[in-house]
Structure 1
Amino acid sequence: MSLSATDRRRHLGQLVALGLGAAGPLRAQPGGLEPVRFATNWRAQAAHGGFYQALVDGGYARAGLDVSILQGGPQVNNRPLLPAKRIDFLMSGNLLHSFDNQRNGVPTVVVAAVFQKDPQALIAHPGQGHERFAALKDAPVALIAKDAQYTWWAWLKSRHGFRDEQLRPYTYNLGPFLANKRAIQQGYAVAEPIYVKQQGGFEPVVHLLADHGFSTYSTLIEAHADTVKQRPDTVRRFVEASLAGWRRYLEGDRRAAHARMRADNPELGEAELEASVALIRRLGLVEGGDAPALGLGAMRLERIRDFLAQMVDAGLYRPGEIDATRIAELGFVKPGPVRPPR
């Protein structure tokens, strides 16, 4: 999607503010803090909350880092900035991006996985026979965005028997779903259910793909391979400060983080943010999976291999095309048990 002149100017302003424009990279700041540029893949939201918490409550500064956050959006693609070394770290959606990077020769490495489960979900109307996940393959209409049709929809077909005949395009407008009680739709489990309740006045049925075998990690922290090799202490401090920020965001006073996110994304409301946090905790996105035994942000090679094998079976990659051992560096997450969510 091309950027309008206004969007280009706004994004250029963000880049210049981060030292990514014509002025060149950021220089060391007074006080000895190391400048770090971190980009997200969407507008500020609760799913980014721990990063903002570490920014506003001094967590990054205590780690010796002067962190700037560049938010993404529907017309802002921050992904090319990482291989170009115009940013230091990138928040990416899931391991499919990492597999694609390796296939395309893009030298990035995952250094932590904030979400143990991908929030990608299918939602349905209550009372329409879609309370069981297995019944969704027989829904007459499935509203799925184009990018998903070429990724996890292939997995749904190969693993769970979904059919292309069900497909209708999802344009991030809830109207068609709300108007058709027999339809199912893709959704981000900490967002669309909130919007359905706001706009439709009912609680949708929510089926998290992760609960049915979609085993990718999500909300990944990626770094350039050169950064991992040449600045491992910076990577370690950023990862540890970010994950500590997530703990404080989920368990402590997050009002300042929400204020900063709302400044970056004025469309956010406090009630929406708090509802999203409640869903993050209830679904075990951060504190579930491997986190209770291995710590927040932890990953296991066996699970990366499992997800890769599923994607090969779905036809997204050829056998042997991706080396799972090169996808992530597992040593930056501090091990330790995680308290279960309250």
Structure 2
Amino acid sequence: MMRFFAALGALLGFAAPALALDKVTFGTNWRAEAEHGGFYQALADGTYRKYGLDVTILQGGPQSNNRLLLAAGRIDFDMGANMIQAFDSVAENVPIVAVAAMFQKDPFILMSHPHAGYDHFRDLPKATAFIGNDGLVTVYQWLKLSYGFSEDKVKIYTFNSAPFLADKNSIEQGYVTSEPYAIAQQGGFTPNVFLAADYGYQSYSTTIETRRAMIEKNPDLVRRFVEASIIGWYHYLYGDNAKANALIREDNPDITDGQIAYSIAAMRKYGIVDSGDALKRGIGAMTDARMAAFFKQMAAAKLFKPDLDYKRAYTLTFVDHGVGLSLRPKP
């Protein structure tokens, strides 16, 4: 009889030792912020652990490059900023692959002063444009081709908004989730906001990237990390995100509650995470059609050669399966 109960206990897991969790390091591309919230949520609420993962989030910043650490095999996953990076990896023969896109819309924006003659997108090409170096060689090249923007109008944006605040005849780049809040705080006015994605810019953003070797050798680990992160994003957007925000503030003490709240509201308002294909396929969705359209944009803007095998930059294996759809609140 005792042997029976011992066997039953082992079967039910009463006395069985816990299975070891797979240790995973995920590098972000900037200091902790609400735009990383779904990953912190999955860590804070135990979703990663439920998927058998012991995850460390390695925050990025101005003095770090977690993408290089991924390429070198020092970390397991990293957060890609956009698909331009992924296409560039193919062009440079770097074996990094995007496996999910947590942002359906790239949050890149242009801002203008209200009531200064730049209240419509068609007005913006005539303004002085404060654009960062990265933005100039990427999004701005598309703006030149598609809407007639000119590099003659560009002044380099050094992430100091004082010149923009002082010049009502200027525009400034930013992220819809952050810079408008900063401008309101510093300048005392709400800027006009133009989200590039709403005017045809088709890049995904906040991608999950890993090495091709990881996909080939341990696809189950990739699947578990992607699916747990997707669930984390649903919980962060629609559930109790207090613990995740506490972890964000712990990693980045400089961020304020006001900035976090603004960022979350902006992600919801503009459909940054949960819109488009994600509405039916689930957060993280990517499609071949969208990738083809965006690559065509970038090739036309002369960022890449038209014959680049851009499909090597991503895989749809781990997304588009409807994971987490039931967690979205009913309308």
TM-score (norm 1): 0.88
CA contact (8 A) 1:287 1:340 kept: no
Check if 1:131 corresponds to 2:119. yes
Query: Cα deviation per residue 1:94-153 (whole Å; 9 max; x = unaligned)?
Result: 0000011010010011110000000000001111222211111111x1000112111211
Q: Are the counterparts in 1 of residues 71 and 95 from structure 2 also a CA contact under 8 Å?
A: yes
- 1:142 maps to a residue whose letter is A
Find out whether 1:53 has 2:41 as its counterpart. Answer: yes
Measured in 2, the distance between the counterparts of 1:100 and 1:226 equals: 18
Distance 1:182 1:291 in 2: 38
Q: Give secondary structure in 1 for the equivalent of 2:172.
A: strand
Q: Which residue of the partner structure matches residue 270 of structure 1?
A: 257
Q: How many pairs were matched up?
A: 311
1:329: Cα distance to partner? 1.1
Tell me how far 1:154 sits from its aligned partner: 1.1
Instruction: Tell me what 2:169 maps to.
Output: 182
Q: Which residue of 1 aligns with 2:143?
A: 156
In the alignment, the residues of structure 1 paired with residue 321 and residue 300 of structure 2 have an alpha-carbon distance, to the nearest angstrom, of 32
Aligned to 1:324: 310
1:78 Cα offset (Å)? 1.1
Report the alpha carbon displacement of residue 340 of structure 1 after superposing the two structures with TM. 7.1
Which position in structure 1 is the counterpart of 2:103?
115
Partner residue in 2 for 1:6 = none
TM-score (norm 2): 0.91
Q: Is 1:205 the counterpart of 2:192 in the alignment?
A: yes
Q: SS where residue 330 of structure 1 aligns? A: coil
Aligned-partner Cα distance in 1 for 2:274–2:282: 8
**1:215 is matched with which residue: 192, 198, 202?**
202
1:133 alignment partner AA: F
Aligned residue type for 1:121: I
Distance 2:80 2:180 in 1: 22
After TM superposition, the structure 1 = structure 2 runs for residues 1-342 of structure 1, keeping only pairs within 5 Å, are 31-139=19-127, 141-320=128-307, 322-336=308-322, 339=328
Instruction: Give the Cα separation in 2 of the matches to 1:31 and 1:306.
Output: 44
Distance in 1, matches of 2:149 and 2:138, equals 13
User: Secondary structure in 1 aligned to 2:73?
Assistant: coil
Give aligned-pair identity as a percent: 49
CA–CA distance in structure 1, aligned partners of residues 286 and 113 of structure 2 = 34
Given residue 314 of structure 2, which amino acid in structure 1 is its aligned partner? A
Corresponding residue of 1:4: none
Q: Is the 2:89–2:313 contact (alpha carbons within 8 Å) kept by the matching residues of 1?
A: no
Residues 273-316 of structure 1 show CA distances to partners (whole Å, capped at 9, x for unaligned) of 01110000000001112101211101001111111111111111
Contact persistence 1:292–1:340 (CA under 8 A): no
Moved more, 95-104 or 286-295: 286-295
Point out 4+ residue stretches in structure 1 off by more than 6 angstroms.
none
Partner of 1:184, secondary structure, is: strand
1:221 is paired with a residue whose SS is strand
> Is the CA contact 1:281–1:341 (under 8 Å) kept in the aligned structure 2?
no
Q: Distance in 2 between matches of 1:296 and 1:248?
A: 11
The 2-side partners of 1:37 and 1:287 are apart by: 25
Superposed displacement of residue 168, structure 1: 0.4
Distance in 1 between residues matched to 2:166 and 2:74, nearest whole Å: 44
